Structure 1
Amino acid sequence: MKVTVFGATGQIGRLVVGDLLADDHDVTAYVRNPGKLGHSDPHLVTVTGELSDEARIQQAVRGSDAVISALGPLLRRGSTGTPVTDGTQNIVAAMQTEHVERYIGLATPSVPDERDSPTLKAKVLPVVAGLLFPNALNELVGMTTAVTQSDLDWTIARITRPTSGRPKGTVRAGFLGRDKVGSVMSRADIAAFLVAQLTDETFSRAAPAISN
Protein backbone atom coordinates (compact mmCIF):
# COMPACT_ATOMS: atom_id res chain seq x y z
CA MET A 1 0.00 0.00 0.00
CA LYS A 2 1.19 3.54 -0.70
CA VAL A 3 0.67 5.91 2.23
CA THR A 4 1.33 9.63 2.58
CA VAL A 5 2.26 10.79 6.07
CA PHE A 6 1.87 14.35 7.34
CA GLY A 7 3.59 15.37 10.56
CA ALA A 8 6.20 12.73 9.75
CA THR A 9 9.00 14.39 11.76
CA GLY A 10 7.01 14.61 15.00
CA GLN A 11 7.33 12.18 17.89
CA ILE A 12 4.38 10.09 16.73
CA GLY A 13 4.88 10.71 13.02
CA ARG A 14 8.39 9.25 12.98
CA LEU A 15 7.05 6.09 14.62
CA VAL A 16 4.24 5.91 12.05
CA VAL A 17 6.77 6.09 9.22
CA GLY A 18 8.91 3.40 10.86
CA ASP A 19 5.94 1.06 11.32
CA LEU A 20 4.81 1.56 7.74
CA LEU A 21 8.27 0.79 6.38
CA ALA A 22 8.54 -2.27 8.63
CA ASP A 23 5.28 -3.51 7.09
CA ASP A 24 6.69 -3.00 3.56
CA HIS A 25 4.42 -0.10 2.65
CA ASP A 26 5.59 2.61 0.26
CA VAL A 27 5.72 5.89 2.18
CA THR A 28 5.67 9.51 1.07
CA ALA A 29 6.56 11.82 3.95
CA TYR A 30 5.50 15.45 3.65
CA VAL A 31 7.99 17.49 5.68
CA ARG A 32 9.45 20.94 6.09
CA ASN A 33 12.89 19.59 6.99
CA PRO A 34 13.81 16.14 5.61
CA GLY A 35 16.85 16.05 7.88
CA LYS A 36 14.57 15.60 10.90
CA LEU A 37 12.86 12.52 9.49
CA GLY A 38 15.32 10.00 10.91
CA HIS A 39 14.57 7.32 8.32
CA SER A 40 16.31 6.20 5.13
CA ASP A 41 14.71 3.46 3.08
CA PRO A 42 14.20 2.64 -0.61
CA HIS A 43 10.45 2.59 0.05
CA LEU A 44 10.51 6.14 1.46
CA VAL A 45 10.32 9.35 -0.53
CA THR A 46 9.98 12.87 0.82
CA VAL A 47 8.11 15.89 -0.44
CA THR A 48 9.28 19.14 1.11
CA GLY A 49 6.79 21.90 1.68
CA GLU A 50 4.64 23.92 4.03
CA LEU A 51 1.07 23.12 5.04
CA SER A 52 0.04 26.22 3.14
CA ASP A 53 1.46 24.91 -0.16
CA GLU A 54 -1.57 23.41 -1.89
CA ALA A 55 0.32 22.28 -4.99
CA ARG A 56 3.01 20.43 -3.01
CA ILE A 57 0.40 18.77 -0.80
CA GLN A 58 -1.46 17.59 -3.88
CA GLN A 59 1.80 16.21 -5.26
CA ALA A 60 2.40 14.34 -2.00
CA VAL A 61 -0.99 12.59 -1.96
CA ARG A 62 -1.09 11.81 -5.69
CA GLY A 63 -1.25 8.07 -6.28
CA SER A 64 -1.57 7.19 -2.58
CA ASP A 65 -4.02 4.68 -1.16
CA ALA A 66 -4.33 6.51 2.15
CA VAL A 67 -3.17 9.46 4.23
CA ILE A 68 -2.07 9.31 7.85
CA SER A 69 -1.82 12.66 9.60
CA ALA A 70 0.11 12.92 12.86
CA LEU A 71 -0.34 16.69 12.85
CA GLY A 72 -1.37 18.49 16.01
CA PRO A 73 -1.52 22.06 17.31
CA LEU A 74 1.11 23.81 19.41
CA LEU A 75 0.32 23.49 23.12
CA ARG A 76 1.31 27.04 23.96
CA ARG A 77 -1.04 29.46 25.64
CA GLY A 78 0.20 32.38 23.59
CA SER A 79 0.02 30.69 20.19
CA THR A 80 -2.21 32.24 17.54
CA GLY A 81 -3.45 31.50 14.06
CA THR A 82 -4.80 28.30 12.54
CA PRO A 83 -1.98 26.76 10.47
CA VAL A 84 -2.94 23.16 11.28
CA THR A 85 -6.62 23.74 10.53
CA ASP A 86 -5.76 25.46 7.26
CA GLY A 87 -3.25 22.74 6.42
CA THR A 88 -5.78 20.00 7.12
CA GLN A 89 -8.27 21.74 4.86
CA ASN A 90 -5.60 21.72 2.14
CA ILE A 91 -4.94 18.02 2.71
CA VAL A 92 -8.66 17.18 2.46
CA ALA A 93 -8.99 19.23 -0.72
CA ALA A 94 -5.94 17.53 -2.26
CA MET A 95 -7.28 14.08 -1.36
CA GLN A 96 -10.61 14.85 -2.98
CA THR A 97 -8.90 16.15 -6.12
CA GLU A 98 -6.65 13.08 -6.33
CA HIS A 99 -9.45 10.63 -5.37
CA VAL A 100 -7.69 9.39 -2.23
CA GLU A 101 -10.44 8.34 0.18
CA ARG A 102 -8.85 6.98 3.39
CA TYR A 103 -7.79 9.51 6.04
CA ILE A 104 -6.44 8.56 9.45
CA GLY A 105 -5.59 11.28 11.95
CA LEU A 106 -5.37 12.48 15.54
CA ALA A 107 -7.36 14.66 17.92
CA THR A 108 -8.20 14.63 21.64
CA PRO A 109 -11.34 13.79 23.66
CA SER A 110 -11.80 17.56 24.04
CA VAL A 111 -13.44 17.26 20.64
CA PRO A 112 -16.56 15.09 21.05
CA ASP A 113 -17.76 12.24 18.87
CA GLU A 114 -21.51 11.82 18.41
CA ARG A 115 -21.23 8.32 19.91
CA ASP A 116 -19.95 9.66 23.26
CA SER A 117 -22.42 9.48 26.14
CA PRO A 118 -22.87 12.48 28.45
CA THR A 119 -20.36 12.15 31.30
CA LEU A 120 -18.56 14.52 33.63
CA LYS A 121 -15.29 13.80 31.81
CA ALA A 122 -16.84 14.61 28.45
CA LYS A 123 -18.10 17.92 29.81
CA VAL A 124 -14.96 18.91 31.72
CA LEU A 125 -12.31 18.16 29.07
CA PRO A 126 -13.34 20.88 26.56
CA VAL A 127 -13.66 23.44 29.36
CA VAL A 128 -10.20 22.69 30.76
CA ALA A 129 -8.63 22.63 27.29
CA GLY A 130 -10.29 25.93 26.44
CA LEU A 131 -8.90 27.56 29.57
CA LEU A 132 -5.37 26.19 29.28
CA PHE A 133 -4.83 26.11 25.53
CA PRO A 134 -7.62 28.07 23.81
CA ASN A 135 -5.91 28.32 20.43
CA ALA A 136 -4.95 24.64 20.45
CA LEU A 137 -8.57 23.67 21.14
CA ASN A 138 -9.70 25.94 18.33
CA GLU A 139 -7.21 24.22 16.02
CA LEU A 140 -8.33 20.73 17.11
CA VAL A 141 -11.97 21.58 16.45
CA GLY A 142 -11.11 23.16 13.11
CA MET A 143 -8.93 20.33 11.81
CA THR A 144 -11.42 17.70 12.97
CA THR A 145 -14.34 19.52 11.38
CA ALA A 146 -12.46 19.81 8.09
CA VAL A 147 -12.22 16.02 7.96
CA THR A 148 -15.54 14.93 9.46
CA GLN A 149 -17.59 17.22 7.24
CA SER A 150 -15.92 15.82 4.11
CA ASP A 151 -16.90 12.75 2.13
CA LEU A 152 -13.64 10.99 3.01
CA ASP A 153 -13.46 7.58 4.69
CA TRP A 154 -11.93 8.87 7.92
CA THR A 155 -10.86 7.62 11.33
CA ILE A 156 -9.65 10.07 13.98
CA ALA A 157 -7.97 8.63 17.07
CA ARG A 158 -8.49 10.81 20.14
CA ILE A 159 -5.54 10.73 22.54
CA THR A 160 -5.08 12.33 25.96
CA ARG A 161 -1.64 11.63 27.49
CA PRO A 162 0.94 10.29 25.03
CA THR A 163 4.06 8.93 26.71
CA SER A 164 7.53 7.89 25.62
CA GLY A 165 9.06 4.49 26.15
CA ARG A 166 8.43 0.96 25.03
CA PRO A 167 5.07 -0.06 23.57
CA LYS A 168 2.72 -1.95 25.87
CA GLY A 169 0.93 -3.69 23.03
CA THR A 170 -2.50 -3.18 24.61
CA VAL A 171 -5.17 -0.91 23.21
CA ARG A 172 -8.48 0.27 24.61
CA ALA A 173 -10.59 2.04 22.02
CA GLY A 174 -14.13 3.34 22.23
CA PHE A 175 -16.32 6.26 23.20
CA LEU A 176 -16.64 8.34 26.36
CA GLY A 177 -19.30 7.08 28.75
CA ARG A 178 -19.72 3.84 26.83
CA ASP A 179 -16.36 2.08 26.84
CA LYS A 180 -13.54 1.67 29.36
CA VAL A 181 -10.90 3.94 27.88
CA GLY A 182 -8.20 5.56 29.99
CA SER A 183 -5.91 8.51 29.36
CA VAL A 184 -2.32 7.27 29.04
CA MET A 185 -0.94 5.65 25.89
CA SER A 186 2.58 5.19 24.60
CA ARG A 187 3.40 6.98 21.38
CA ALA A 188 4.57 3.68 19.93
CA ASP A 189 1.12 2.16 20.53
CA ILE A 190 -0.59 5.26 19.13
CA ALA A 191 1.45 4.94 15.95
CA ALA A 192 0.66 1.23 15.71
CA PHE A 193 -3.06 1.97 16.10
CA LEU A 194 -2.97 4.54 13.31
CA VAL A 195 -1.21 2.14 10.95
CA ALA A 196 -3.63 -0.67 11.84
CA GLN A 197 -6.54 1.49 10.68
CA LEU A 198 -5.33 1.10 7.09
CA THR A 199 -6.99 -2.32 7.02
CA ASP A 200 -9.43 -2.10 9.95
CA GLU A 201 -12.90 -0.71 9.22
CA THR A 202 -14.16 -0.88 12.82
CA PHE A 203 -13.93 2.87 13.29
CA SER A 204 -14.70 4.04 9.76
CA ARG A 205 -16.09 7.59 9.97
CA ALA A 206 -15.69 7.56 13.75
CA ALA A 207 -13.39 9.20 16.31
CA PRO A 208 -12.63 6.68 19.06
CA ALA A 209 -10.78 7.65 22.21
CA ILE A 210 -7.79 5.35 22.65
CA SER A 211 -5.47 4.41 25.51
CA ASN A 212 -3.41 1.56 26.89
Structure 2
Amino acid sequence: MKIAVLGATGRTGQYLVKQALLKGHTVTAIVRSPAKLTVVHEKLKVTEGDVFCKDSLEHHLKGQDAVISCLGFSPTPLSGVNGYTRSMRTTIRAMQQVGVNRIITMTSWYTDPKSLMKTSFVFRLFLITMIQSVLSNMYEMEHFLKKTKDINWTVVRPPGLRNEAATVREFLTYEGYFVPDSNGQPIGRHAVARGDVARFMLSLLDKNDWIKKGVAITTK
Protein backbone atom coordinates (compact mmCIF):
# COMPACT_ATOMS: atom_id res chain seq x y z
CA MET A 1 0.00 0.00 0.00
CA LYS A 2 1.16 3.55 -0.69
CA ILE A 3 1.12 5.64 2.48
CA ALA A 4 1.83 9.32 3.02
CA VAL A 5 3.02 10.01 6.56
CA LEU A 6 2.75 13.43 8.21
CA GLY A 7 4.89 14.06 11.27
CA ALA A 8 7.36 11.39 10.19
CA THR A 9 10.29 13.02 12.02
CA GLY A 10 8.41 13.04 15.33
CA ARG A 11 8.94 10.34 17.93
CA THR A 12 5.78 8.40 17.04
CA GLY A 13 6.19 9.09 13.33
CA GLN A 14 9.65 7.54 13.21
CA TYR A 15 8.35 4.31 14.74
CA LEU A 16 5.49 4.29 12.25
CA VAL A 17 7.73 4.81 9.21
CA LYS A 18 10.05 1.96 10.22
CA GLN A 19 7.16 -0.42 10.91
CA ALA A 20 5.40 0.49 7.66
CA LEU A 21 8.53 -0.30 5.67
CA LEU A 22 8.96 -3.63 7.46
CA LYS A 23 5.41 -4.48 6.45
CA GLY A 24 6.24 -3.78 2.82
CA HIS A 25 4.36 -0.51 2.40
CA THR A 26 5.66 2.23 0.12
CA VAL A 27 6.06 5.33 2.29
CA THR A 28 6.20 9.01 1.38
CA ALA A 29 7.32 10.98 4.42
CA ILE A 30 6.21 14.60 4.08
CA VAL A 31 8.36 16.58 6.47
CA ARG A 32 9.49 20.12 7.16
CA SER A 33 13.15 19.14 7.58
CA PRO A 34 14.10 16.05 5.51
CA ALA A 35 17.54 15.80 7.13
CA LYS A 36 15.90 14.89 10.45
CA LEU A 37 14.67 11.56 9.07
CA THR A 38 17.73 9.34 8.83
CA VAL A 39 15.98 6.15 7.70
CA VAL A 40 17.10 4.95 4.28
CA HIS A 41 15.01 2.40 2.36
CA GLU A 42 14.20 1.67 -1.28
CA LYS A 43 10.49 2.05 -0.53
CA LEU A 44 10.87 5.33 1.37
CA LYS A 45 10.66 8.76 -0.21
CA VAL A 46 11.43 11.69 2.07
CA THR A 47 10.12 14.97 0.71
CA GLU A 48 9.81 18.49 2.03
CA GLY A 49 6.27 19.77 2.45
CA ASP A 50 4.18 22.26 4.39
CA VAL A 51 1.20 20.79 6.28
CA PHE A 52 -0.39 24.23 6.32
CA CYS A 53 -0.25 24.68 2.52
CA LYS A 54 -2.75 22.79 0.34
CA ASP A 55 -0.74 23.23 -2.85
CA SER A 56 2.35 21.82 -1.16
CA LEU A 57 0.49 18.72 0.03
CA GLU A 58 -1.45 18.01 -3.18
CA HIS A 59 1.65 17.11 -5.15
CA HIS A 60 2.83 14.62 -2.51
CA LEU A 61 -0.59 13.08 -1.79
CA LYS A 62 -1.46 12.33 -5.39
CA GLY A 63 -1.53 8.57 -5.98
CA GLN A 64 -1.44 7.63 -2.29
CA ASP A 65 -3.78 5.01 -0.84
CA ALA A 66 -3.90 6.52 2.63
CA VAL A 67 -2.57 9.29 4.84
CA ILE A 68 -1.38 8.69 8.40
CA SER A 69 -0.79 11.73 10.59
CA CYS A 70 1.44 11.61 13.65
CA LEU A 71 1.60 15.38 13.90
CA GLY A 72 1.88 16.92 17.32
CA PHE A 73 1.74 20.56 18.39
CA SER A 74 2.83 22.01 21.73
CA PRO A 75 1.43 25.09 23.46
CA THR A 76 3.55 28.20 23.74
CA PRO A 77 3.66 30.52 26.77
CA LEU A 78 1.96 33.34 24.87
CA SER A 79 -0.60 31.46 22.79
CA GLY A 80 -2.68 28.31 22.62
CA VAL A 81 -2.58 25.58 20.02
CA ASN A 82 -4.28 25.65 16.61
CA GLY A 83 -1.98 23.40 14.59
CA TYR A 84 -4.25 20.36 14.74
CA THR A 85 -7.21 22.06 13.10
CA ARG A 86 -5.13 24.12 10.67
CA SER A 87 -3.12 21.16 9.40
CA MET A 88 -6.14 18.85 9.19
CA ARG A 89 -8.24 21.32 7.21
CA THR A 90 -5.37 21.75 4.77
CA THR A 91 -4.76 18.00 4.53
CA ILE A 92 -8.41 17.17 3.92
CA ARG A 93 -8.72 19.79 1.19
CA ALA A 94 -5.60 18.42 -0.50
CA MET A 95 -6.88 14.85 -0.20
CA GLN A 96 -10.22 15.80 -1.72
CA GLN A 97 -8.47 17.56 -4.58
CA VAL A 98 -6.38 14.51 -5.54
CA GLY A 99 -8.92 11.79 -4.72
CA VAL A 100 -7.44 10.24 -1.55
CA ASN A 101 -10.15 9.33 0.96
CA ARG A 102 -8.47 7.47 3.87
CA ILE A 103 -6.77 9.18 6.80
CA ILE A 104 -5.73 7.91 10.22
CA THR A 105 -4.68 10.44 12.85
CA MET A 106 -3.91 10.49 16.57
CA THR A 107 -5.14 12.67 19.41
CA SER A 108 -5.52 11.68 23.07
CA TRP A 109 -7.82 10.49 25.80
CA TYR A 110 -10.00 13.22 27.36
CA THR A 111 -10.31 15.54 24.37
CA ASP A 112 -14.01 15.93 25.22
CA PRO A 113 -14.14 18.17 28.32
CA LYS A 114 -17.03 16.10 29.74
CA SER A 115 -14.82 13.01 29.88
CA LEU A 116 -12.49 14.78 32.32
CA MET A 117 -15.18 14.51 34.99
CA LYS A 118 -14.35 10.79 35.23
CA THR A 119 -10.85 11.62 36.48
CA SER A 120 -9.67 12.75 39.92
CA PHE A 121 -9.59 16.43 40.79
CA VAL A 122 -5.79 16.44 40.98
CA PHE A 123 -5.39 14.79 37.57
CA ARG A 124 -8.05 17.06 36.09
CA LEU A 125 -6.23 20.11 37.43
CA PHE A 126 -2.97 18.87 35.91
CA LEU A 127 -4.55 18.43 32.47
CA ILE A 128 -6.28 21.81 32.56
CA THR A 129 -3.11 23.56 33.69
CA MET A 130 -0.60 21.84 31.42
CA ILE A 131 -2.26 20.74 28.19
CA GLN A 132 -5.83 22.02 28.06
CA SER A 133 -5.16 24.05 24.92
CA VAL A 134 -3.78 20.94 23.21
CA LEU A 135 -6.80 18.83 24.14
CA SER A 136 -9.19 21.60 23.09
CA ASN A 137 -7.63 21.92 19.64
CA MET A 138 -7.58 18.15 19.22
CA TYR A 139 -11.30 18.10 20.07
CA GLU A 140 -11.97 20.83 17.52
CA MET A 141 -10.10 18.83 14.90
CA GLU A 142 -12.11 15.72 15.70
CA HIS A 143 -15.34 17.64 15.17
CA PHE A 144 -14.07 18.94 11.86
CA LEU A 145 -13.45 15.36 10.71
CA LYS A 146 -16.96 14.33 11.72
CA LYS A 147 -18.32 16.88 9.24
CA THR A 148 -16.35 15.50 6.29
CA LYS A 149 -18.65 13.16 4.38
CA ASP A 150 -16.31 11.96 1.64
CA ILE A 151 -13.32 11.02 3.83
CA ASN A 152 -12.89 7.70 5.67
CA TRP A 153 -11.20 8.95 8.81
CA THR A 154 -10.19 7.30 12.06
CA VAL A 155 -9.02 9.09 15.19
CA VAL A 156 -6.78 7.04 17.50
CA ARG A 157 -6.73 8.19 21.14
CA PRO A 158 -3.93 6.89 23.40
CA PRO A 159 -3.89 7.89 27.10
CA GLY A 160 -0.31 9.12 27.01
CA LEU A 161 2.90 8.22 25.23
CA ARG A 162 6.16 6.56 26.25
CA ASN A 163 9.11 6.82 23.89
CA GLU A 164 9.48 3.06 23.53
CA ALA A 165 9.39 0.55 20.70
CA ALA A 166 6.41 -1.66 19.90
CA THR A 167 5.55 -4.60 22.13
CA VAL A 168 3.31 -7.60 21.52
CA ARG A 169 0.79 -6.52 24.14
CA GLU A 170 -2.91 -6.89 23.38
CA PHE A 171 -4.84 -3.71 22.73
CA LEU A 172 -7.94 -2.65 24.63
CA THR A 173 -10.19 -0.40 22.57
CA TYR A 174 -13.33 1.64 23.09
CA GLU A 175 -15.32 4.04 20.94
CA GLY A 176 -15.04 7.03 23.21
CA TYR A 177 -12.67 9.38 24.98
CA PHE A 178 -11.04 6.81 27.27
CA VAL A 179 -11.12 3.05 27.79
CA PRO A 180 -13.49 2.31 30.72
CA ASP A 181 -13.33 -0.45 33.30
CA SER A 182 -16.39 -2.42 34.42
CA ASN A 183 -17.52 0.57 36.51
CA GLY A 184 -17.24 3.06 33.66
CA GLN A 185 -14.10 4.65 35.06
CA PRO A 186 -10.85 5.09 33.07
CA ILE A 187 -9.11 1.72 33.12
CA GLY A 188 -5.80 3.26 34.11
CA ARG A 189 -3.65 6.16 33.10
CA HIS A 190 -0.44 4.41 32.12
CA ALA A 191 1.10 5.69 28.92
CA VAL A 192 1.33 3.51 25.82
CA ALA A 193 4.57 2.90 23.94
CA ARG A 194 4.79 5.11 20.87
CA GLY A 195 5.73 2.02 18.89
CA ASP A 196 2.47 0.37 19.93
CA VAL A 197 0.44 3.40 18.87
CA ALA A 198 2.17 3.20 15.48
CA ARG A 199 1.44 -0.54 15.36
CA PHE A 200 -2.25 0.05 16.01
CA MET A 201 -2.53 2.84 13.45
CA LEU A 202 -0.94 0.68 10.76
CA SER A 203 -3.24 -2.23 11.60
CA LEU A 204 -6.22 -0.05 10.66
CA LEU A 205 -5.14 0.01 7.03
CA ASP A 206 -6.42 -3.53 6.63
CA LYS A 207 -9.66 -3.05 8.59
CA ASN A 208 -12.94 -1.17 8.35
CA ASP A 209 -13.77 -1.51 12.06
CA TRP A 210 -13.10 2.10 13.00
CA ILE A 211 -14.03 4.01 9.86
CA LYS A 212 -15.50 7.44 10.73
CA LYS A 213 -14.96 6.76 14.43
CA GLY A 214 -12.72 7.81 17.30
CA VAL A 215 -11.16 4.89 19.20
CA ALA A 216 -9.54 5.15 22.60
CA ILE A 217 -6.78 2.60 23.05
CA THR A 218 -4.50 1.22 25.74
CA THR A 219 -2.53 -1.99 26.19
CA LYS A 220 -2.92 -4.78 28.69
Q: Quickly name the TM-score band, shorter chain normalised.
A: 0.7 to 0.9
Offset, 1:177: 6.4
8 Å Cα contact 2:108-2:135 kept in structure 1: no
Partner of 1:204: helix, strand, or coil?
Answer: coil
| In structure 2, C-alpha distance between the alignment counterparts of 1:168 and 1:185, rounded to whole Å | 10
- Are residues 208 and 119 of structure 1, via their aligned partners in 2, closer, same or farther at CA, if it must alter by over 3 Å? farther
Q: Look up the match of 1:136.
A: 134
Q: Which residue of 1 aligns with 2:80?
A: 80
Q: Name the structure 2 match of 1:153.
A: 152
Instruction: Please state whether the residue corresponding to 1:203 is helix, strand or coil.
Output: coil
| CA deviation string 1:83-121 (max 9, x = no partner) | 3321111001111111211110101122249xx989613
Please say if 1:16 is aligned against 2:23.
no
Give distance in 1, aligned partners of 2:32 and 2:173.
Answer: 32
- Note closer, same or farther for the CA distance 1:117–1:34 as it changes in structure 2 (3 Å cut): closer
Q: Deviations over 1:178-207 (max 9, x none)?
A: 567543211111110011010122211111
Q: Which residue number corresponds to residue 204 of structure 1?
A: 211
Deviates more, 1:118-127 or 1:47-56: 118-127
Query: Match of 1:155, SS?
Result: strand
Moved more, 179-188 or 68-77: 179-188
Question: 1:1-212 maps to which residues of 2 (within 5 A)?
Answer: 1-112=1-112, 120-121=118-119, 128-151=126-149, 152-170=151-169, 171-174=171-174, 175=176, 176=178, 178=180, 181-183=187-189, 184-212=191-219
- Contact 1:2/1:64 (CA < 8 Å) preserved in 2? yes
User: In the TM superposition, what whole-angstrom CA distance separates every residue of 1:141-189 from its partner, at most 9, and x where no partner exists?
Assistant: 2322232221211111101221123433221111446567543211111
Structure 1, unaligned runs of 5 or more = none
The list of structure 1 runs, each at least 4 consecutive aligned residues, that deviate by more than 6 angstroms after superposition, is: 116-119, 122-127
Structure 2: any 5+ residue segments left out of the alignment?
none
Seen in structure 2, the aligned counterparts of structure 1 residues 137 and 177 have a Cα distance that, compared at 3 Å, is closer
% identity of equivalent residues? 25
> For residue 194 of structure 2, what is the amino acid of its counterpart?
R
In structure 1, give the amino acid aligned to 2:164.
G
Letter in 1 for 2:33: N
Question: In the alignment, is the contact (CA less than 8 A) between 1:112 and 1:122 conserved in 2?
Answer: no
| Backbone CA RMSD of aligned residues | 2.7
Give, in whole Å, the separation in 2 of the partners of 1:79 and 1:38: 32
Separation in 2 of the partners of 1:8 and 1:87?
A: 14
Indicate the larger mover: 142-151 or 32-41. 142-151
**Conserved in 2, the CA contact under 8 Å of 1:109 and 1:122?**
no
Normalising by structure 2, report the TM-score.
0.84
- 1:63 corresponds to which letter in structure 2? G
For residues 124 and 143 of structure 2, the distance between their equivalents in structure 1, rounded to whole angstroms, comes to 15
